[in-house]
Amino acid sequence: MSGAFGFTLLARDGAARRGRVALAHGTVETPAFMPVGTAATVKAMRPEEVAATGAEIVLANTYHLMLRPGAERIAALGGLHRFMNWPRPILTDSGGFQVMSLAKLRAIDESGVTFRSHLDGARHHLTPERSIEIQRLLGSDIAMAFDECTPFPATDAEARASMELSMRWARRCRDAFAAPAGHALFGIVQGSVFPDLRLQSAAALRAIGFDGYAVGGLAVGEGREAMYAVLDVTVPALPEAAPRYLMGVGKPEDIVGAVLRGIDLFDCVLPTRSGRTAQAFTRGGAVNLRNARHQDDPRPLDAACACAACRSYSRAYLHHLAKSGEILASMLLTEHNLRYYQDLMAGLRGAIADGRVADFAQGFADAQSLGDIPPRG
Question: Which residues would be at the binding site for Zn ion (CB under 5 A)?
Answer: 305, 307, 309-310, 336
Cβ-contact 336, 321 below 8 angstroms? no
Q: Which amino acid is at 376?
A: R
CA dihedral of residues 128, 134, 139, 141 (deg, nearest 10): -30
Q: What is the DSSP string of 7-65?
A: EEEEEEETTEEEEEEEETTEEEEESEEE-B-TTSS-TT--HHHHHHTT---EEE-HHHH
Whole-angstrom distance, CA of residue 107 vs CA of residue 113 = 6
Q: Which is nearer to Zn ion, 261 or 315 (CB)?
A: 315
Q: Which residues are catalytic?
A: 93, 267
Distance of CA 97 to the CA centre of its chain: 13
CA dihedral of residues 156, 158, 160, 166 (deg, nearest 10): -150
Residue 109 DSSP symbol: E
Q: Which is nearer to Zn ion, 76 or 303 (CB)?
A: 303
Q: Which is nearer to Zn ion, 140 or 279 (CB)?
A: 279
- Mark 2-29 as b/e (b = at least 16 C-beta within 10 Å): eeebebeeeebbeebbbbbbbbbbbbbb
Cβ 307 to Zn ion shortest distance, Å: 3
Q: Which is nearer to Zn ion, 55 or 310 (CB)?
A: 310
Cβ 338 to Zn ion shortest distance, Å: 9
Q: Which is nearer to Zn ion, 170 or 307 (CB)?
A: 307
Q: Which amino acid is at 144?
A: M
Cβ 320 to Zn ion shortest distance, Å: 17
Cβ 371 to Zn ion shortest distance, Å: 17
List the one residue out of 156, 168, 151, 235 whose CA is nearest residue 194.
156
Cβ 318 to Zn ion shortest distance, Å: 10
Do you find a cis peptide bond into 153, omega within 30 degrees of 0? Answer: yes
Q: Which is nearer to Zn ion, 8 or 312 (CB)?
A: 312
List the one residue out of 372, 356, 191, 217 whose CA is nearest residue 286.
372
Cβ 303 to Zn ion shortest distance, Å: 9
